[in-house]
Amino acid sequence: MTHRPRVGFTGYYGMRNFGDDLFGVLCTAAARQYWNADPLLVGPGLDGAPARAMWPSAFPAELYGSAGPVGKAARLVGFVRGLHASDVLVMGGGSVITARESFRKPMMLSAARRNRVQLAAVGVSVGPFPDAASEAAAAAFVREFSYLSVRDRRSYELACQMGLEHIVHEGRDLAGLLQSVAPQVPTRDNERGGVPRIGLAPCRYQVRADHPAPTPSQWHDAVVHAVTRMASSAPLQVEVFSLNGHPQHGDNAMAEQLQQRLRERGVAAELHAYGGGDPLRTVDAIRRCDAFISARLHGAIVAYLCSVPFAIVDYHPKCRDFAQDIGLPAHLRISDGAHDTSAFVHVVDALLNDSGARARLSPAVYAQEAQDIFQCAPWSSPATFHTRASSAPA
């Protein structure tokens, strides 16, 4: 390419999910910084994303993320526009290399085989797959890519087993780019006179048969009782985060119920509901917490990168993968069999007093390595490579 590459980023952007929208902001900023590219956002515009959006601003963003045939048609229109406008189409972030069917895959393959576009994926995880046939189908799809940067060690090893070693790069999660491409000045207020702030981020998940974990109601009960007990002896402020505001699949009702339960017990609790469009504002709200307990993966990752002591509810392999990669202590992984009230009292106390509440891999090292997601790509300008630090043991 002799001109600035037009790089389109496709993902679950515009669906009112904090983590996905954050991917869109960071991918477009990184493409400008590391690839000297003209980035395109396949979806509605996002605050902080230096890119042209493929969803017309005259149309409501809520339509793009809506359920049913209208929403699907809106996403199809946005994708077609992005595909035709791009020299490189990148799947930017998330658990997207899976067995899940999508209207995007055949269109991407057709365009790539006609040499109309190059394909890539950055900051993604691979699998797990339910069977060998699903894994083989995913491998055949990704084999048409020019570049694949995965966000965890398990995905890297699986990609190599799938015969993708010639394109795969062992990277980090895209959120690791926060300070390098979207730095923010930390803001803290003293209006509560130094009262500790505990962030809670629920997630509307279903327990998987292959990954035992507490149900949402089980860990909610335990954390409410634990925080109530601790607040009886010292003032606490709880910040409840709804990091997915989708009306059908989101966390708003769950977060509101948590807030209400805490208030009924005399615990000060505020609600932060992500409504879409401005993920960096939510990053700043997480940064202001003194401790964070999250079932949402990107609540935990952002807390980690902002040096906020955190615990993660290990309900999915992607949560385990992240915890293992950074060497998060076992007592900060909320898992099946370790989620009663006493366990949460211990967790909150450890987080607030910083007693063994830090991952072995420092956030600064993680952030430095995250730059390789874009610097190791074929379109990097210039192509700069760093020596990878050893991953922290599990």
Query: What pLDDT, on the 0 to 100 scale, is given for residue 394?
Result: 39
Report how far residue 170's alpha carbon sits from residue 215's, in angstroms, rounded to the nearest whole number. Answer: 32
Do 197-359 and 6-183+365-375 fall under one CATH topology?
Answer: yes
Query: What pLDDT, on the 0 to 100 scale, is given for residue 386?
Result: 38
Q: Domain ranges in the chain? A: 6-183+365-375, 197-359
Per-residue pLDDT of the chain (394 residues; tens, 9 = 90+): 457 899 999 999 988 999 999 999 999 999 999 999 999 999 889 999 999 998 877 777 777 878 788 888 888 888 999 999 999 999 999 999 998 888 889 999 999 999 999 999 999 999 989 999 999 999 999 999 999 999 999 999 999 999 999 999 999 999 999 999 987 765 555 444 589 999 999 999 999 988 989 999 999 999 999 999 999 999 999 999 999 998 888 999 999 999 999 999 999 999 999 998 899 999 999 999 999 999 999 999 999 999 999 999 999 999 999 999 999 999 999 998 777 899 999 999 999 987 777 899 999 999 999 999 999 999 986 543 333 444 444 3
Name which of 45, 35, 52, 43 is nearest 1 in CA terms.
35
Report how far residue 74's alpha carbon sits from residue 107's, in angstroms, rounded to the nearest whole number. Answer: 16
Beta bridge partners of 97: 126
CATH topology of domain 197-359: Rossmann fold (3.40.50)
Sequential DSSP letters for 331-357: GGEE-TT--SHHHHHHHHHHHHHTSS-
CATH class of 6-183+365-375: alpha beta
Q: Contact at 8 Å (CB) between 11 and 23?
A: yes
Dig out the tokens for 3 from the structure: 């001109």
Dig out the tokens for 58 from the structure: 């005259």
